[in-house]
Structure 1
Amino acid sequence: MKLEQKGHITKKERQDKEQVKAILKEQATGQEVKLLDVTKQAGAEDFFKLISNVIREADIDLISLDQFQLNLLAINLQRFSQCEKNINEQGLMIDGKKNPLIAASNIYLKNIQSLFNDLSLSRNARMKQLLNQIQTQKIEDPFKDLIN
């Protein structure tokens, strides 16, 4: 079951999705995602703190099961940053060949994008979430009184 879906869904599907979202929100209440030792060892502690702050401010519900992905995101951000720094220092070409760090950088970037989507941190994921909230809210029809 996709919690965010484009197109028409039945009332029952909408109710089921809202119930799942409520359960996920309840599971996340009071839980904290923690910095793992591997993230510290990778030198990605600052990235982890930055991401954690963004998540807290955006009121995104994460549970302890998400902490692995969050730590993995921090590590990938650190490694991507290091690759880009080295590419800038060494240049795009080394001895007439493409710098191998470019391929590594692209892999880390793809991992980062995937993890952002998985954690609902991307713009598209947030827009889908917001759109779904707007669609499921019981907003009174302003023209209802005019018709009756």
Structure 2
Amino acid sequence: MIKLENNSHESRTTKQTREQAKSMLNQDLDLKPTIKLSKQGQALFELLLTLVSDSDVPFAQIDSLQISLLAESLDQLQQALDSIHGNGVVVDGKRNMATTVYNSALKNVNDLLRDLNLTMNLRVKQLLSNIQNENVDDPFRELINDD
């Protein structure tokens, strides 16, 4: 893992790698889906881009595939839920196949959220790390101080 900020002495190669990583991560977030998405999937993709652009976690062009897959998985999850709510868990004495799609999509969504550092736990860990490294102001400082 490459630390993007470092004040200590480092080799020229490490410094170049750091600068290269920074430039890759600071690209414009004009991402397009890398897979064909339904209308709902496209809307989810746009919503995810809004969430990602507001995040403190850096994203780059290469993340477009994972964001596209997340939008697709969220779309599948919603379609499966619609089927389950409309038809029930059991249809004609058999398990509704939408439950299988739902379970698979839910696992994919959880994996992709974790991979993109978008879970609540990972975002809090990143925030705490940034605070400890003094990259951002502590948002809880005012609440804790008894001034």
- TM-score interval w.r.t. the shorter chain? 0.7 to 0.9
Amino acid in structure 2 at the alignment position of 1:91: G
Question: For the aligned residues, what is the CA RMSD?
Answer: 2.9
1:90 aligned partner: 87
2:101 aligned partner: 104
TM-score by length of 1: 0.72
On the 8 A contact 1:44/1:78 being kept in 2, the answer is yes
Cα displacement (A) at 1:94 = 0.8
Work out the percentage of aligned pairs sharing the same amino acid.
28
Cα displacement (A) at 1:23 = 5.4
Cα displacement (A) at 1:60 = 3.0
Is 2:121 aligned against 1:124? yes
- Change in Cα spacing, 1:2 to 1:82, as seen in structure 2 (3 Å) is farther
Cα displacement (A) at 1:111 = 0.4
Answer 1 or 2: which has greater helix percent.
Answer: 1
2:29 aligned partner: 32
Distance in 1 (alpha carbons) for counterparts of 2:87 and 2:123: 37
Q: 1:1-148 residue pairs with structure 2 within 5 A?
A: 1=1, 24-36=21-33, 38-41=35-38, 43-137=40-134
After superposition, what is the alpha-carbon deviation per residue over 1:64-89, rounded to whole angstroms, capped at 9, x for unaligned?
11110011100110111111011100
On the 8 A contact 2:34/2:65 being kept in 1, the answer is no
On the 8 A contact 1:33/1:67 being kept in 2, the answer is no
TM-score by length of 2: 0.72
- Consecutive unaligned residues in structure 1, runs of 5 or more: 4-10, 13-18, 140-148
The count of corresponding residues between Structure 1 and Structure 2 is 126
Larger RCO (CA under 8 A, 6+ residues apart): 1
